[in-house]
Amino acid sequence: MSITFGTEAEFRPGGSAISISVAVLGADKFVVAFRDLSDSGHGKAKVGTVSGSTIAFGAETVFHSASAIYFLSAAALSATQFVVAYRDADYNCRAKIGTVSGTDITFGTASLLTSLGTTAISVAALSSSKFVVAYEGTSNNGTANVGTVSGTAIVFGAATEFQTGGTNGFFAAALSDSQFVVAYSDAGDSSHGTAKMGTISGTSITFGAETEFLAANGAYVISAAALSSTKFVVVYNDGTDSYHGTAKVGTVSGTSITFGAEAEFLAVNGVTYVSIAALGDSKFIVTYTDGSDADHGTAKVGTVSGTSITFGAEAEFLAANGATWVFVAALSSTNFVVAYQDNSDSGHGTAKIGSLPTAWTVEPSDSISLSDSKSAMAGSSRSDSVSLSDVATPVLTHTYIVDVASDPSGATVSASPNDENGNGNGTTPFSRRYADGAGVTLTAPAKSGNRVFLEWRDGGGNTLSSSRALGVTVAGAGTYTAHYEFVGDSADDYLVASP
């Protein structure tokens, strides 16, 4: 499958950007966060707006200016909010909520995660009000915390270790609103490539047993992406094989992981930066720095069948020396954004839109005419007709978090149909993940405790419906709250909770 790239757009022109991370807000909008080496290493962010294959960036916003930052990771919580976690010059690890209006960003107050420092950090969004962050904690042990968001405030749960003895890098990816995978280089075990499942209950995390995707020294550059609630892909450079670019599919059962056979996307020396994003439940994009080709910025599409991976032809987004701090994020099933430091242009922070061919549909009755070139060269004509028995259709892959709440909380709300993870009804508050365009019906009970149903409201407090059954067409992340009042009271007498 061929990849085409649009025109480059610089988010840090005239300066040098590193520690780059991208959070996708929608199919035509994203945030890029970075460390600005040209401005004392301050942490900054910009909104990128996509039109076709072009990007227009808004004004930059500084999220940390008291000192330099050294590591960062960003993740979208909704269409208008994201979280950025980072380590400052005093070894404090902090996180902030960014709120987007148009192309403007405003940041809330920083919340302290740990003062122990870290050499890596990775954030994965679980819902519009919850995320998990992985970092190095006590004695450099791999550690994770759940962050809960209220407005722009963050409260962290207890720290839970997933590894001891230090890491040489890791990456966290959410598989559902209550499970995530963390893939890491285990410095306590000769840098073996290792993964664990984390399960979240409230703000507590429990980890399953470790599983190695590289049982030798060593995996050093790692990225991971969820294909579904039970499958993910991990990519890494294989230190036992001249740092070849390698990928494996991980299949999840409960908290156990099994890995399929490896597949190489770069079968020569060697990958120095790598990033992956899922384009669907059977397709992903991997972007990397090609050390065998003067550090050109390169991308390939990987297709998954069961636990096997096949890669398409490479396409370069930077055909010069060299692309570093590469980060890729999916905008849809056919479009993605790749951000990187362009060392062929003074280290400028740069981004491009990558596109895959739009899928086409054929009917079972259609036929394709195949010409035999050898027969034609011999002066004869031959044409074979092939009847297609299956219909090839585009795969809808972009999903959004739908948050369901009630005032007061604790109401049992039905959600139909079940979401991408097979979850339906729940007790508020809860979250469900649906595909873009999905039709969902949320039905609130007539009574909750000693109160009766009044109306549904959106995340901005606007009334949506006075009917208990609310029809929603998913077009982005959203919050839907069922409001109740005491019997006999007026609408002004009940407590309105913040969405």
Lowest mean pLDDT of 193-197, 205-209, 390-394, 420-424, name the range: 390-394
The reply to whether 146 and 221 lie within a common domain is: yes
User: For residue 304, is it within any domain?
Assistant: yes
User: For residue 315, is it within any domain?
Assistant: yes
* Structural domain ending residue among the three candidates 299, 320, 355: 355
User: For residue 378, is it within any domain?
Assistant: no
User: For residue 220, is it within any domain?
Assistant: yes
pLDDT tens digit sequence for 219-229: 889 999 999 99
The reply to whether 411 and 349 lie within a common domain is: no
The reply to whether 63 and 194 lie within a common domain is: yes
Domain span at residue 431 reads 399-486
The reply to whether 408 and 335 lie within a common domain is: no
Residue 9 has what pLDDT? 98
Quick check: 246 pLDDT over 90? yes
User: For residue 374, is it within any domain?
Assistant: no
pLDDT-above-90 percentage for the chain: 70
User: For residue 494, is it within any domain?
Assistant: no
- Look up the CATH number of the domain holding residue 478: 2.60.40
Which H, E and C letters describe the chain, residue by residue? CCCEECCCEEEECCCCEEEEEEEEEECCEEEEEEEEHHHCCEEEEEEEEEECCEEEECCCEEEECCCCEEEEEEEECCCCEEEEEEEECCCCEEEEEEEEECCEEEECCCEEEECCCCCCEEEEEEECCEEEEEEECHHHCEEEEEEEEECCEEEECCCEECCCCCEEEEEEEECCCCEEEEEEEEHHHCCEEEEEEEEEECCEEEECCCEEEECCCCEEEEEEEEEECCEEEEEEEECCCCCEEEEEEEEEECCEEEECCCEEEECCCCEEEEEEEECCCCEEEEEEEECCCCCEEEEEEEEEECCEEEECCCEEEECCCCEEEEEEEECCCCEEEEEEEEHHHCCEEEEEEEECCCCCCCCCCCEEEEECHHHHHCCCCCEEEEECCCCCCCCCCCEEEEEEEEECCCCEEEEECCCCCCCCCEECCEEEEEECCCEEEEECCCEECCEEEEEEEECCCCEEECCCEEEEECCCCEEEEEEEEECCCCCCCCCCCCC
The reply to whether 317 and 412 lie within a common domain is: no
Quick check: 233 pLDDT over 90? yes
- Look up the CATH number of the domain holding residue 314: 2.120.10.10
Residue 263 has what pLDDT? 97
The reply to whether 332 and 427 lie within a common domain is: no
Q: Provide the domain count of the chain.
A: 2
pLDDT tens digit sequence for 356-393: 986 443 334 334 444 443 333 334 444 444 444 444 44
Summarize the confidence of residues 109-120 as an average pLDDT: 91
Averaged pLDDT of the chain = 88
The reply to whether 317 and 203 lie within a common domain is: yes
The reply to whether 331 and 430 lie within a common domain is: no
The reply to whether 223 and 348 lie within a common domain is: yes
The reply to whether 319 and 421 lie within a common domain is: no
User: For residue 29, is it within any domain?
Assistant: yes
pLDDT tens digit sequence for 303-356: 999 999 999 999 999 998 899 999 999 999 899 999 999 999 999 999 999 999
The reply to whether 417 and 335 lie within a common domain is: no
Quick check: 278 pLDDT over 50? yes
User: For residue 155, is it within any domain?
Assistant: yes
